[in-house]
Structure 1
């Protein structure tokens, strides 16, 4: 059995479908350019090009040498590093004040063991005390060396006797102690560790170093 559709009916359906498709599609508006916009673009200010710079036209200032004055202050010699012409001069340059316990012990040792001796003899006694502190066979400090039992007869019960600071011999002993501690003058009894009065003859069996004043020195 065949079914037939009238031609007019098919045409109507086709027409309606076309209308519906047209309604569903978006309508794009055409972009229009305003004449005013074109005029503005053409009227934009023109930036002038940077002119080329010729290197031959550039001139440099002549070089100027800068000289800075430097003042050199000469070093001032002190009693610690000054060269003395004699032991007397080295002693005379020292302060007679005591500001250190170790220096006081050294000066007391020099005073009681060698006051009245020539300066070289007093310096030799001071150096014996100092040499003992570095020998490894005696205490390592000056006061301990001076106060060591059985070494110096002026020490009583491990205490040092008082000294009148106004005595000239004491001031000399302090100056000698400073010269020895600063190593400002060489000892005439180098490396000596022992000494005794000339009138004594101990059987020490030690190497004799020198005789200075009324003392004989050994190591």
Structure 2
């Protein structure tokens, strides 16, 4: 009986030795049989290039914001080429703003039958007046509505123009070119002009003659 009891004690001691936790610090874990062990999942960080930036293993979707910015740049790209090429690129039915609409209206009624250089010159005079620093009103619309300056203006309203009219769309393009200062004009800083068939005797400095108009400073 004593031998059997001793055998039981020995078996218990051996069992305790095998499954007893091994201490590796304050909170050791029990041993697990190798056959039943489950290897932990190890998160492998992305590789780094020499500059310290992560090298992604899979292609990433393009940045939407950056793509939109690129499209915006293309949409707002300035026209190029000579005056005729720029007009072809900017021609359209809508000026876009009230001020540009006034400028285009002035160009249309004063020079729609003139060559493009003549239309540019008329637009430049209107812009010069608006930027003259107090000598004339400071806006395109104000310049047009100044009393006694433009015969096509009556009261405080502009005459209507069919926006499908090609001459109107050309005037819109010229107005944008003048407003954005995309092309220089031979009239420079001229502030006045009149048709060739009149002789007002202004006594001003003549700066250019383009198409059917003579320009003065």
Shorter-chain TM-score: what band?
0.5 to 0.7
Query: 1:195 aligns to what SS in structure 2?
Result: strand
Cα deviation for residue 66 of structure 1 reads: 3.3
Give the structure 2 partner of residue 132 of structure 1: 129
2:87 matched to 1:102?
A: no
Query: 2:90 aligns to what SS in structure 1?
Result: coil
Give the structure 2 partner of residue 212 of structure 1: 210
Cα deviation for residue 116 of structure 1 reads: 1.0
Gaps of 5+ in 2: 1-48, 56-66
Query: 1:210 aligns to what SS in structure 2?
Result: strand
Relative to 1, partners in 2 of residues 1:167 and 1:65: Cα closer, same or farther, differing over 3 Å?
Answer: closer
Give the structure 2 partner of residue 85 of structure 1: 81
Relative to 1, partners in 2 of residues 1:66 and 1:118: Cα closer, same or farther, differing over 3 Å?
Answer: same
Give the total of aligned pairs. Answer: 156
| Contact kept in structure 1, 2:79 and 2:89, CA below 8 Å | no
Alignment of 1:182-201 (within 5 A): 182-201=180-199
Cα deviation for residue 154 of structure 1 reads: 0.3
Query: 2:208 aligns to what SS in structure 1?
Result: strand
Give the structure 2 partner of residue 117 of structure 1: 114
Root-mean-square deviation over aligned CA pairs? 2.6
- Could you give the per-residue CA deviations for residues 32-86 of structure 1, whole angstroms, max 9, x where no partner exists? xxxxxxxxxxxxxxxxxxxxxxxxxxxxxxxx833759xxx9x786586646220
Cα deviation for residue 188 of structure 1 reads: 1.8
Structure 1 outlier segments of 4+, above 4 Å: 75-81
Gaps of 5+ in 1: 1-63
| Contact kept in structure 1, 2:79 and 2:90, CA below 8 Å | no
Alignment of 1:166-177 (within 5 A): 166-177=164-175
| Contact kept in structure 1, 2:109 and 2:152, CA below 8 Å | yes
| Contact kept in structure 1, 2:91 and 2:170, CA below 8 Å | no
Give the structure 2 partner of residue 32 of structure 1: none
| Contact kept in structure 2, 1:129 and 1:142, CA below 8 Å | yes
Give the structure 1 partner of residue 156 of structure 2: 158
Mapped to 2, the partners of 1:188 and 1:164 lie a distance apart of 30
Mapped to 2, the partners of 1:109 and 1:159 lie a distance apart of 13
